[in-house]
Amino acid sequence: MDVPRRFTFRMGDVFTSDDPVSLFLVSLTAALNDLLLVNRLLVPDDEYGLLSGEARPAENSYFLRLSASHVYETVLLVESVEKVQALRRFLDALPDQAQRLRREIRTMTIGGSDLRKTLGLSRNSSWHYPRPSDKILKTVVKRYGDAEVALDVGDKMPGIRGLFADEIMLGVLSYYRPEDEDSFGELMHELAEITWRLVHFAQYAINDYMKRHSDKLDPPWPT
């Protein structure tokens, strides 16, 4: 098992409230933390994680939607800093591997793509449950009209799990995908690919920033 090294520092010596790069790295690191945590919850038995395991049961739909939501918010964060000159200079100075990931993230999530629409829809359905008037909810419930679904109820409260609702939320998540057996698997693959790129891009950015402040860390950052 990989045992992480701990580096300690005075917050104000490394991250300051008047430096946009500092503030971006704080937010990006928070996003990285969330992406890694939800990945461990979603694919707990996979050696490498990052959604590379088989699709989990419907009851894990929450973690899938949560993962896609964090991916979407991280994409929006990275896109937003491209418009700030100081931050763009920082990003442009990252190593070649980070630049390749940056380009690939931009290509995969270009506005109007099915993946981007799916990520946005997942974010909305994770934080805002669909109202009865929601068009997508109505469409998915109709699609599942002939499906055999289930409701598990235990002898004691709270011993209930509405598996039918999990299935519907998975249907909402894959709304922009073709209606075939491979659609959900393809969505999982695309989510794994974009998550992998975001996680590694964030690590390159954090590594570069901490190197610049190595003398403020205990122990110093490795060169």
Domain boundaries, the chain: 11-125+179-216
Task: Out of 64-73, 87-96, 112-121, 172-181, give the one with best mean pLDDT.
Answer: 87-96
Confidence of residue 141 (pLDDT cuts 50, 70, 90): very high
Largest alpha-carbon pair distance within the chain?
64
Please report how many Cα atoms fall inside a 13 Å half-sphere around the Cα of residue 64, on the Cβ side: 27
pLDDT tens figures, 75-97 = 999 999 988 999 999 999 999 99
Query: Cα separation of 205 and 147, whole Å?
Result: 46
Confidence of residue 98 (pLDDT cuts 50, 70, 90): very high
Residue that has been written with the tokens 């419907």 in this structure? 58
Question: Rounded to two decimals, what is the model's pTM?
Answer: 0.83
CB burial string 157-175: b at 16+ within 10 A, e below: eeeeeeebebbbbbbbbbb
pLDDT top residue among 43 and 112: 112
Q: For residue 6, what are the CA distances in angstroms to 9, 19, 25?
A: 10, 24, 18
pLDDT top residue among 43 and 107: 107
Point out the least confidently predicted range of 13-17, 122-126, 204-208: 122-126
Average pLDDT, the chain: 85
Query: Cα separation of 216 and 223, whole Å?
Result: 14
